[in-house]
Chains A and B, each alone.
Chain A
Amino acid sequence: EIVMTQSPATLSVSPGERATLSCRASQSVSSNLAWYQQKPGQAPRLLIYGASTRATGIPARFSGSGSGTEFTLTISSLQSEDFAVYYCQQYNNWPPTWTFGQGTKVEIK
């Protein structure tokens, strides 16, 4: 089973600053990694898939990078609506199952 580890658990950032979130896989997942944003009381929302492709309607300030076992989600200039919890996710081809990281909370500094 592939284990996904996110760091840090909590990131304190001032509005307008850059935020860098990390996700590490216990073995290579190629570029098959997705990122989700979740705000309190809401369902998760897809931000990035294929490690670096933004989902429809996602602002350009969100970018993803990485491949293999090391991945990064960057928010270039934090807006008030970006304070949330972010999860990375990978998919096992066989058996076809899914694994999430434990999440990174981005909070206002």
Chain B
Amino acid sequence: EVQLVESGGGLVQPGGSLRLSCAASGFTFSSYWMSWVRQAPGKGLEWVANIKQDGSEKYYVDSVKGRFTISRDNAKNSLYLQMNSLRAEDTAVYYCARESRALLWFGVATFFDPWGQGTLVTVSS
């Protein structure tokens, strides 16, 4: 079974740090781009960051650039998100997701599948 399991969420004070982990199983982790997506309470989905299969390329949404770092350990089938200088607006459920691709009639379709169950990060004093 293809599965993603996040951990590491919790309560942290503004300005603090937290490291999220995502354990992958059931597929060849090293063959896929991976992403973090977050969802603030009662809000929609926001893509946060992604990383190439070998870790050589990383991209971030503007609001977390310079504060968050995505990384991976293919030997451990794990994805990470180091979050520094946390702000109240970073409060959200953080999901890891596999970037999947399929060749269709128009070209390559890209989508997130599967998703983990999410881990809650609360930034508050």
Contacts and interface: CB of A to CB of B under 8 A. Distances in A.
A38 B97 CA distance: 14
B75 interface: no
A85 B84 CA distance: 31
Contacts of B44: 87, 100-103
User: Could you tell me the dominant secondary structure of chain B's interface residues?
Assistant: strand
Interface size class of A (residues with CB under 8 A): 20 to 34
Interface stretch (A16-24, A43-51, A73-81): A43-51
Interface of A: 30-32, 34, 36, 38, 42-46, 49-50, 53, 55, 67, 87, 89, 91, 95-103
Interface in B21-53: 33, 35, 37, 44-47, 50
Chain B, interface size category, equals 20 to 34
Contact of B110 (A42, A91, A101, A102): A91
Given A44-B45, A87-B44, A49 B59 contact: no
A87 B59 CA distance: 22
B61 interface: yes
Contacts of A53: 102, 104, 109
B107 interface: yes
Contact of B111 (A30, A89, A96): A89
21 contacts: A31-B105, A31-B106, A32-B106, A32-B110, A34-B109, A34-B110, A34-B112, A42-B117, A43-B115, A43-B117, A44-B115, A46-B111, A46-B114, A49-B100, A53-B102, A87-B44, A91-B111, A96-B57, A98-B37, A100-B46, A100-B47
Contacts of A87: 44-45
Given A50-B104, A102-B44, 4 more contacts: A31-B109, A45-B115, A46-B114, A103-B45
A50 B106 contact: yes
Given A96-B33, A97-B59, A49 B47 contact: no
A98 B47 contact: yes
A97 B50 contact: yes
A103 B35 CA distance: 20
Contacts of B46: 100
A38 B93 CA distance: 13
A44 B95 CA distance: 9
